[in-house]
Amino acid sequence: MAFLGARRLRCVFAVGLMGLAPCAAAAAESVPLEDTVKAAYIYKFAPFVTWPTHPAAGAPFTICSIGTDRVSVLLPQVTAGQRVDERPIQIRALAEGEPPADCAILYIASSVAAGGVLDAVHGKPILTVTSLEGQHGIVQLVTVEHHVSFDIDAKLAAEDGLTISSKLLGLARTVTRPAVPPS
């Protein structure tokens, strides 16, 4: 059996990007590919997560960000033209202390102290994403050997009323499972 497509690409970070610049061009820019990939990952979690509330038909899918870092800055760019369940993606940058109303996903940039924000949204059906080591959002983006991956805290997600598809869990580097798995 010939393994087609097994040829390793030199720019591994470009793998997950769709409709973006080819790696050679991306590599030439000042923005590290790692951050672009992380930014693209954030909206890609959406199809594998089930929110308890159903949005109104035609309402945009809202991804919020709080604080600023290279990933949050790239968010509008990587989500441009993309859709989640036929809904356009809306990016909203929250001011410090602004309530995360309508946010399905909340990215907590490395510039803010994640702990306080996470405590504030705990119990709300919002998928929190962090990228700084040790921040512990529901999804924690990590870089392992130049490869972007993620850890998932399914226990925390369950507490917030979110269900995460096992397909996504299967792809995660580590999964923190709830004591009693949600039925």
Instruction: Kindly list the residues in this chain that would bind another protein in the complex (CB under 8 A).
Output: 1-6, 15-19, 41, 44, 46-48, 50, 83-86, 165, 167-168, 170-171
Q: Least separation, in Å, of the C-beta of 132 and another protein?
A: 20
Which element (helix H / strand E) includes 142? strand 139-144
Q: Which is nearer to another protein, 68 or 174 (CB)?
A: 174
Q: Least separation, in Å, of the C-beta of 154 and another protein?
A: 14
User: Tokens 């960000």 label which residue?
Assistant: 65
Q: Which is nearer to another protein, 86 or 119 (CB)?
A: 86
Burial 35-58 (b: 16+ CB within 10 A, else e): bbbbbbbbbebbebbebeeeeeee
Q: Which is nearer to another protein, 49 or 112 (CB)?
A: 49
Q: Which is nearer to another protein, 132 or 172 (CB)?
A: 172
User: Tokens 């202390």 label which residue?
Assistant: 97
Q: Which is nearer to another protein, 15 or 27 (CB)?
A: 15
DSSP 8-class letter at 8: P
Q: What is the 3-state secondary structure (H, E, C) of 70-132?
A: HHHHHHHHHHCCCEECCEEEEEEEECCCCCCCCCCEEEECCCCCHHHHHHHHCCCCCEEEECC
